[in-house]
């Protein structure tokens, strides 16, 4: 098994972040520092250490959801000491979880956390096409042509977005409330899509990821996922 996949399955970090750990020379196999990202291991025989600590497969993963408020950065540690989403959650002392994907500083809503690297990969990698639904408020009105443009794809950062779902929830001269469902998760995708048709986003909130819904969780609060939600995530693993 590829070393970064093993580290993700053990809940150390996502596959991509695990590669960074390897590049930082923090990973050892059988007491030798790993240099090659393409290294394979045998989980039954090889002893893998991260920062000198042994790594094992884990079954009892932690799954949390947070209603992220505006004004928090989605990162596990900010070099400028700004408030991060980690300040809003609590996990047992010896456990570490990390955010699944990213909501930008001014975006609020549903943010999942886990130590299940395989699941984090499924939820964030575009190839799995997991739907994420957002409520956006834009300044002014929108025409049906503009809605259709968003639905069929617009060019952001030099590449066209995949077809998505867009519904108008409410509209008056001052502002319009839209429900937008995408499954790609590119950087600041919803804001950039709206910007590409000349719309200014005044408010953006994620209300669901796959079948997991934010529901009535208060802003700034977190909770563990219930059995039904965890069963749904396990179904995604196949
Ligand atoms: N799209 C955005 O523009 N921002 C987010 O945080 C998520 C999706």
pLDDT per position as a tens digit, 181-223: 999 989 999 999 999 999 999 999 999 999 999 999 999 999 9
Q: Is-contact 90 76, C-beta < 8 A?
A: no
Domains 3-55 and 63-126+212-237 share a fold: no
Torsion 121-122-127-129 (CA) sign: negative
Closest atom of ligand 1 relative to the 206 alpha carbon: 7
CATH of 63-126+212-237, one of 3.40.50.150, 3.40.50.300, 3.30.70.580, 1.10.760.10: 3.30.70.580
Tokens of 65: 């959801």
Q: Which residues are catalytic?
A: 104
Domain spanning 3-55, CATH architecture? Roll (3.10)
CA of 134 to the centre of ligand 1 (A): 8
Question: Most distant CA pair in the chain: distance in Å?
Answer: 66
CA of 52 to the centre of ligand 1 (A): 37
- Tell me the pTM: 0.78
> What CATH fold (topology level) applies to the domain 131-209?
Alpha-Beta Plaits (3.30.70)
Three-class secondary structure assignment of the chain: CEHHHHHHHCCCCCHHHHHHHHHCCCEEECCEECCCCCCECCCCCCCEEECCEECCCCCCCCEEEEEECCCCECCCCCCCCCCEHHHHCCCCCCCCCEECCCCCCCCEEEEEEECCHHHHHHHHCHHHCCCEEEEEEEECCCCHHHHHHHHHCCEECCEECCCCEEEEEEECCCEEEEEEEECCCCCCHHHHHHHHCCCCEEEEEEEEECCEECCCCCCCCEEECCHHHHHHHHHHHC
Q: Is-contact 193 154, C-beta < 8 A?
A: yes
Choice from 69, 99, 104, 182 to test ligand 1 binding pocket (greatest atom count within 8 A of CB): 104
Residue 157 burial by Cβ neighbours in a 10 Å radius (0-12, 13-18, 19+): exposed
Q: Whose CA is nearest to atom 6 of ligand 1?
A: 103
At 124-146, the pLDDT tens digits run: 999 999 999 999 999 999 999 99
What residues flank ligand 1, with Cβ below 6 Å? Answer: 103-104, 107, 188-191, 204
Distance CA 137, CA 126 (A): 25
Closest atom of ligand 1 relative to the 106 alpha carbon: 6
Q: Whose CA is nearest to atom 2 of ligand 1?
A: 188
| Per-residue b or e along 92-128, where b marks 16 or more CB atoms closer than 10 Å to that residue's CB | eeeeebbbbbebeeebbbbbbbbbbbbbbbbbbeeee
Residue spans of the domains in the chain: they are 3-55, 63-126+212-237, 131-209
pLDDT of residue 59: 62
CA of 204 to the centre of ligand 1 (A): 7
Going residue by residue through the chain, which has 238 residues, state the pLDDT in tens, using 9 for 90 and above.
Answer: 899 988 988 878 888 889 999 999 999 999 999 999 999 998 888 999 999 988 877 667 899 999 999 999 999 888 888 999 999 999 977 788 999 999 999 999 999 999 998 899 999 999 999 999 999 999 999 999 999 999 999 999 999 999 999 999 999 999 999 999 999 989 999 999 999 999 999 999 999 999 999 999 999 999 999 989 998 898 887 6
Distance CA 13, CA 55 (A): 12
């Amino acid at each position: 098994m590829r070393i970064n996949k093993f580290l993700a399955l053990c809940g150390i970090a996502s596959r991509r972040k695990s590669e960074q750990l390897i590049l930082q020379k923090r990973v050892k196999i059988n007491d030798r520092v790993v240099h090659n990202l393409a290294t394979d291991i045998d989980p039954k025989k090889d002893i893998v250490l991260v920062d000198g600590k042994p790594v094992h497969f884990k079954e009892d993963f932690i799954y949390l959801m947070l209603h992220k408020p505006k004004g928090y950065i989605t990162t596990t540690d900010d070099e400028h000491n700004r408030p991060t989403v980690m300040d809003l959650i609590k996990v047992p002392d010896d456990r570490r979880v990390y955010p699944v994907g990213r909501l930008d500083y001014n975006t609020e809503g549903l943010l999942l956390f886990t130590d299940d690297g395989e699941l984090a990969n499924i939820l964030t990698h575009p190839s799995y096409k997991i739907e994420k639904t957002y409520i956006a408020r834009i300044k002014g009105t929108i025409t049906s042509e503009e809605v259709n443009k968003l639905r069929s794809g617009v060019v952001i950062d030099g590449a066209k977005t995949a077809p998505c779902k867009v519904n108008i929830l409410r509209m008056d001269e001052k502002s319009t409330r839209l429900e937008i469902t995408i499954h790609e998760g590119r950087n600041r995708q919803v804001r950039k899509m709206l910007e590409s048709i000349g719309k200014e986003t005044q408010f953006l909130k994620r209300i669901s990821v796959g079948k997991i819904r934010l529901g009535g969780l208060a802003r700034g609060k977190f909770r563990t996922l219930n059995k039904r939600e965890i069963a749904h995530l396990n179904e995604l693993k196949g």
